[in-house]
């Protein structure tokens, strides 16, 4: 039976949080979802979109949701209502609202906390801004954002738990305390963290609505025909390799994703681009660039860790291997983040410099192009 004809199959999970497989949260007790596609355990929030069946009788909103979403108690619904995260026909509603046929319900709920032993650790972190509500961090490559399988300490959350040890929200052993978004383990760059529940809620809603401003720089294989472009393609789990994401060009699976890019500098064999995210899907830039034939430089997961463009000269091969040694990770840096401050309403924008390893590779490409007299627009 299709989901459109069965009210018990109407909840559509929408994943809007970036994550990396190396940061998988240990799973909470098994949950059943009203969709054929089950979400990964490590999302920060569950997002549901439900259309009430035409034969549904009037019922309290909280009761209806608790009935139609497995492992969803009325208390969880009430918490979502209190946080302003339940909408019916695009309007926020109370738990007592009586649902009607064809009502469209959208809600966001935090995942149930998974209890693990979180150790505060005095790890140096680059804090570029902090006040009573938010802390903005320039994360180094190689640091996981939070504990997970294979990465039980040494994470950003371990460091923040130590730094904010007087903050009640960071005293509860929550491995996702303050997180409203994430970047991959081996991606460097800017992250914002909430320091209290109200700030987290406000920031999370901005990411949910895609109203934040995010700019990345990436070094990718190949040259581009155009100086600017847009990549559109549904992104979902690769059916043949669960460690990869995949673009479903026909939109049959996955979630809608849009990446805008602009060429910053051409090196003939590789190109430095700026990417602007319109959506925030898993590995979005990495998988979108692979999809259009421009994998990220040294991206092992998506095939960029070998020579894809260039000459057969041994000198060139040695040059690429040296670049890989200098930057043993994919060439992606989150260099700008903009959001509205949750208390003051001020629009805030933060930028970070290109990290040393990334800059060193760019400098080497500059020198290589000059010495080899390669075509360079």
What whole-number distance in Å separates Cα of residue 138 and Cα of residue 355? 10
Confirm if 142 and 78 have CB atoms less than 8 A apart. Answer: no
Give yes or no: 184 in active site: yes
User: d(Cα 194, Cα 182) in Å, to the nearest integer?
Assistant: 12
Phi, psi of 148, rounded to the nearest 5 degrees? -170, -170
Are the CB atoms for 174 and 164 separated by under 8 Å?
Answer: no
Catalytic: which of 62, 103, 184, 305? 184
Q: In this structure, what token pair is assigned to residue 67?
A: 């009935």
**Six-digit token pair at 179?**
């997180």
The distance in angstroms from the start CA to the end CA of the chain is 56
Strands 188-194 and 234-237: unpaired
Q: Which residue has the tokens 């360079």?
A: 376
Could you list the active site residues?
Answer: 184
């Amino acid at each position: 039976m299709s989901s459109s004809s069965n009210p018990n199959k109407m909840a559509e999970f929408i994943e809007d949080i970036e994550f990396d497989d190396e940061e998988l949260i240990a799973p909470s007790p098994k949950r059943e979802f009203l969709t054929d596609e089950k979400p990964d355990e490590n999302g920060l929030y569950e997002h549901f979109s439900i259309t009430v069946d035409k034969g549904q009788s009037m019922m309290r909103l909280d009761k209806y949701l608790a009935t139609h979403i497995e492992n969803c108690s009325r208390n969880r619904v009430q918490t979502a209502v209190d946080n302003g995260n339940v909408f019916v026909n695009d309007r926020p509603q109370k738990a007592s609202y009586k649902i009607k046929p064809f009502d469209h319900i959208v809600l966001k709920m935090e995942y149930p906390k998974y209890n693990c032993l979180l150790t505060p650790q005095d790890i140096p972190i680059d804090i570029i801004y902090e006040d009573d509500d938010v802390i903005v961090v320039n994360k180094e490559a190689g640091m996981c954002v939070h504990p997970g399988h294979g990465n039980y300490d040494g994470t950003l959350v371990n460091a923040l738990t130590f730094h904010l040890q007087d903050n009640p929200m960071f005293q509860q052993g929550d491995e996702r305390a303050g997180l409203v978004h994430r970047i991959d383990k081996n991606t460097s760059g800017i992250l914002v963290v909430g320091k209290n529940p109200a700030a987290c809620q406000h920031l999370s809603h901005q990411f949910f609505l895609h109203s934040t401003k995010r700019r990345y720089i990436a070094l990718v294989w190949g040259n581009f025909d155009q100086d600017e472009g847009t990549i559109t393609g549904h992104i979902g789990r690769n059916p043949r390799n669960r460690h990869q994401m995949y673009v479903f060009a026909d939109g049959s699976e996955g979630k809608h994703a849009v990446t805008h890019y602009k060429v910053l500098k051409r090196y003939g064999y590789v190109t430095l681009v700026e990417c602007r995210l319109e959506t925030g899907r898993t590995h979005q830039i990495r998988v979108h660039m692979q999809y259009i034939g421009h994998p990220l430089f040294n991206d092992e997961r998506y095939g960029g860790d070998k020579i894809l463009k260039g000459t057969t000269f041994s000198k060139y091969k040695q040059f690429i291997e040296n670049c890989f040694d200098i930057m043993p990770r994919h060439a992606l840096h989150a260099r700008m983040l903009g959001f509205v401050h949750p208390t003051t309403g001020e629009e805030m924008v933060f930028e970070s410099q290109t990290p040393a390893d990334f800059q060193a590779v760019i400098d080497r490409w500059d020198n290589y192009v000059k010495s080899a007299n390669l075509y360079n627009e």
